Structure 1
Amino acid sequence: MNVLAEMLLNEPAPMAIWAVLMLFTLPALVVLANPDGVRNPRMALLETATFVRRHRERREVRRARRQAEVAQAVRYAQEVRVAATRAAGAVDRWQEFWQAAADRVDATGAAWREAGARWTHSRAAAPFGTPWTPQDPAEYAFRERFLHEGVRAAVARGELPATALADVLAGCGGWDPRLHPVEQELVLQRAAAAHLEWVHRAAVAAERAAWHDVQLARRGRDSLRREAVLAESRISSRTVTAVDAARVVRLADLHHGRA
């Protein structure tokens, strides 16, 4: 008996033969072991066959359920991996947007400093007074044109908002066309410095918001990557037969073929 057991454990071929013999002889053994089966072997064989069939059906149901679960896990892992790849692309786009915002901060900061330096230089020369000009309608008309042209040029350079030109043409917003051109230049430089400071502060706020979005996008990407690795590890940890694995692969291929 020990020799037989050792042979069955160590040699796969005898084990397979033994399994086949047991598969076909088990119903007969069950019939012979049951007293009712000895008295009514036909009924016992029918009951045994029914039992075996139901057992096989339940086994097939469990196998089909396992295959469906594995196929669903494969699809989920693939979808999460695709989502992680797309999230990585979104991070790159947000990174580019933030870089553009950071470049704008540098540009607006430089423009603001230059405008502030011009205004500081003009204020330093203000105590020397303004040259004398005649107080006549032609002079005031010239001053008005000088103011309009100065504001229009500053708007074109981006040193003043477009609303400034509308205000100066309407004679509102604190613009005084009666001032001497030297005084008007000082007013223009002060307004430009104030506007460019506002533009720079807005650029800084936009850059911070863009950086916040980059961080959010990175966290989303990393979370999806971790979920993809976890989903793939769930698949690898399952016990799947070679036939099941082949079917799962075919199901996944068919799924992606339809996608």
Structure 2
Amino acid sequence: MESALQIFFVGVPHAVLIWSILLGLAVLAIAGLHLVGPRGPRRPRLRTRLRAARIRRHRRAEAAAELVRYAEEVGVAAARAEATAGRHHEAWLAAQETAERAWTAYESADLTARRMTAAALLPTPATPQTTEEYAERERWLHRAAMSACAHNELSLLDLNDALAHRNGWDPRRHPAEQEAMLRRAISVTLRAAERTAAREERIAWTAAESAAAAARSLRAEAISAAERAHAVRHLVRHDAAAGPERQRQRLRTAVAR
């Protein structure tokens, strides 16, 4: 009885010690597993993060390349708009010069017409009323009307009337009266030409102003786009600059990995 009790009291501490050691080892093993973590799942997560990082880099490079391309395109558009504005400005200057010449021609013709009209009110000198005299008056009227039409001083309609002796064109009148009528017709024709030139000058001025405003707007946008492109140009990689299709292909390849 005493031997059994003695064996029991001696063996229990050894068993407790062994179980304590085993328990401690188990706790250390569990703690180590928690600290180290599972190796299997970490590699996929790391690969996923790397792939996401590559995709982000590609997208940044693509967006930067798009800004650079836009800056170049709007710069070209601004240069073309400025060239167009220059042509419209030159066209307006030409139209303005034409309008000034038309006004000068009309003023001179109107002054001459007034003088001839005033002179026609005076008694006309007597001329022989013969067939040869009337034929000469008719030839003079025809030559004067055709010459005025050739110099764009008389319209074709007035020329036809003069040659057909219609609407007041009478070759039997005294040459002074015929010339007064011719000068009045020239004044009316040049007045219409002056109004047309003035209208075309206003149209050209409006077109020049619109083209200049468009050029200024595009140049401002080109400057702003160039500044934005300069800020992100360092992000543009060679593959991004190669074109959007190549970028999309590389991006699809990166996503598929």
State the TM-score, normalized to the length of structure 2.
0.75
Counterpart-to-counterpart distance in 2, 1:128 and 1:109: 30
Distance 1:34 1:191, change over 3 A: farther
Q: How much has 1:173 moved relative to structure 2? A: 4.4
Counterpart-to-counterpart distance in 2, 1:132 and 1:193: 28
Gaps of 5+ in 2: 1-30, 244-257
Is 2:73 the partner of 1:79? yes
Gaps of 5+ in 1: 1-31, 39-43, 253-259
Counterpart-to-counterpart distance in 2, 1:249 and 1:187: 78
Partner of residue 11, structure 2: none
Counterpart-to-counterpart distance in 2, 1:114 and 1:145: 26
Distance 1:130 1:249, change over 3 A: farther
Partner of residue 83, structure 2: 89
Does the aligned pair in 1 maintain the 2:148–2:154 contact within 8 Å? Answer: yes
Which of 1 and 2 has higher RCO (CA within 8 Å, sep 6+)? 2
CA deviation map 1:205-257 (0-9, x unaligned):
1111111111100100011011112212222344x6x5x345378548xxxxx
Matches within 5 A, 1:238-257: 238=232, 242=234, 244-247=235-238, 250-251=241-242
State the Cα RMSD in Å. Answer: 2.4
Aligned with residue 151 of structure 1, among 131, 145, 151:
145
The letter of the residue matching 2:228 is: R
* Segment drifting more, 174-183 vs 102-111: 174-183
Q: Give 3-state SS (helix, strand or coil) of 2:217's partner.
A: helix
Q: Give 3-state SS (helix, strand or coil) of 1:179's partner.
A: coil
Partner of residue 133, structure 1: 127
Partner of residue 98, structure 1: 92
Distance 1:228 1:170, change over 3 A: same
Q: Percent identity?
A: 36
CA deviation map 1:159-202 (0-9, x unaligned):
11233223323333442223221111000000111111111111
Matches within 5 A, 1:16-95: 35=34, 44-95=38-89
Counterpart-to-counterpart distance in 1, 2:45 and 2:204: 68
Counterpart-to-counterpart distance in 1, 2:141 and 2:189: 17
Partner of residue 113, structure 2: 119
Partner of residue 15, structure 2: none
Does the aligned pair in 2 maintain the 1:160–1:191 contact within 8 Å? Answer: yes
Counterpart-to-counterpart distance in 1, 2:216 and 2:90: 18
CA deviation map 1:107-152 (0-9, x unaligned):
1111111111211221222232212233343333222221111100
Is 2:172 the partner of 1:178? yes
Is 2:209 the partner of 1:218? no
Paired residue total: 213
Distance 1:49 1:109, change over 3 A: same
Counterpart-to-counterpart distance in 1, 2:96 and 2:239: 49
Counterpart-to-counterpart distance in 2, 1:134 and 1:203: 45
Does the aligned pair in 2 maintain the 1:70–1:248 contact within 8 Å? Answer: no
Counterpart-to-counterpart distance in 2, 1:57 and 1:179: 103
